[in-house]
C-alpha cells in the first residue's frame, strides 16, 4: 500500500488560504451585483428611525418617521424652598417627535443639532422648580419646549413633541 503524503500547512498558511477565499467571494459577488444591475449605490445612506402612519382621516396618506435621536435626558429642576440642601429634583425625559418620512435634510439637521436640542431641554427643566412644572402640566411643557426647539431649526419645524418617559425622581 502506497502512502499519500499530505503537505505540511502551517497555521499562517491556512489562514492566508481562508482569507484569500473570502476576499475572492466578496470580489466576485460585488462584480455580479453590479453587472446584474441590482446595486443601487447611494440609496438609503441615512435611515430615519421608525415610520409612523398618519391618522385614517387624512385624505393624502403621508407617512411620518419618529426622531428619537435625543435619547434619555437626565437633568434636575431648580431648587425649591422646601429642600434644605439647595438641590433640585432629578427629572428623566425621553423626548421624540415626528417628521415627514423621506425628509432627509430635516433628519440630518435634527441629528446635527441634537446636542443643542438636548441642552435646550436640560436648561428648560433646570430653570423651573418641580412645583412649577407640575402646575404647568405635561401638555404646556411640551408646547413651550416645542417653541424653543423650533427657534433653533431652519429647514422645518417640529409639529408636536412627545415623551416616552417623563419622570420626577422625588
Question: How far is it, in rounded angstroms, from Cα 71 to Cα 27?
Answer: 39
pLDDT of 82 reads 62
Q: Which residues touch 141 (CB under 8 Å, ≥6 apart)?
A: 124, 133
Beta strands in 87-160 (DSSP E): 90-100
Query: Do the beta carbons of residue 93 and residue 109 sit within 8 Å?
Result: no
Question: How far is it, in rounded angstroms, from Cα 119 to Cα 34?
Answer: 45
pLDDT of 85 reads 65
Regions in the chain scoring below 70 on pLDDT:
1, 5-8, 39-61, 81-85
CB atoms within 10 A of CB 100: 15
pLDDT of 155 reads 92
3-state helix, strand, coil in the chain (%, to 5): 40, 20, 40
pLDDT of 52 reads 47
Residue 79 CA, distance from chain mean position: 31
CB atoms within 10 A of CB 141: 21
pLDDT of 11 reads 80
pLDDT of 146 reads 92
pLDDT of 39 reads 66
Q: Which residues touch 65 (CB under 8 Å, ≥6 apart)?
A: 48, 49, 50, 51, 52, 98, 99, 100, 101, 102, 107
Amino acid at each position: 500500500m502506497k502512502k499519500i503524503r499530505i503537505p505540511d500547512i502551517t497555521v499562517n498558511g491556512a489562514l492566508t488560504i481562508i482569507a484569500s477565499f473570502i476576499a475572492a467571494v466578496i470580489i466576485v459577488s460585488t462584480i455580479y451585483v453590479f453587472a446584474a444591475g441590482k446595486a443601487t449605490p447611494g440609496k438609503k445612506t441615512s435611515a430615519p428611525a421608525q415610520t409612523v402612519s398618519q391618522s385614517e382621516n387624512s385624505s393624502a396618506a403621508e407617512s411620518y418617521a419618529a426622531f428619537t435621536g435625543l435619547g434619555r435626558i437626565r437633568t434636575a429642576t431648580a431648587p425649591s424652598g422646601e429642600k434644605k440642601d439647595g438641590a433640585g429634583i432629578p427629572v428623566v425625559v425621553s423626548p421624540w417627535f415626528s417628521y415627514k418620512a423621506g425628509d432627509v435634510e430635516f433628519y440630518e439637521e435634527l441629528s446635527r443639532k441634537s446636542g443643542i436640542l438636548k441642552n435646550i431641554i436640560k436648561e428648560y427643566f433646570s430653570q423651573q422648580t418641580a412645583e412649577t412644572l407640575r402646575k404647568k402640566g405635561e401638555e404646556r411643557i411640551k408646547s413651550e419646549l416645542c417653541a424653543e426647539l423650533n427657534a433653533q431649526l431652519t429647514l422645518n419645524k417640529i409639529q408636536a413633541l412627545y415623551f416616552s418617559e417623563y419622570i420626577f425622581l422625588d
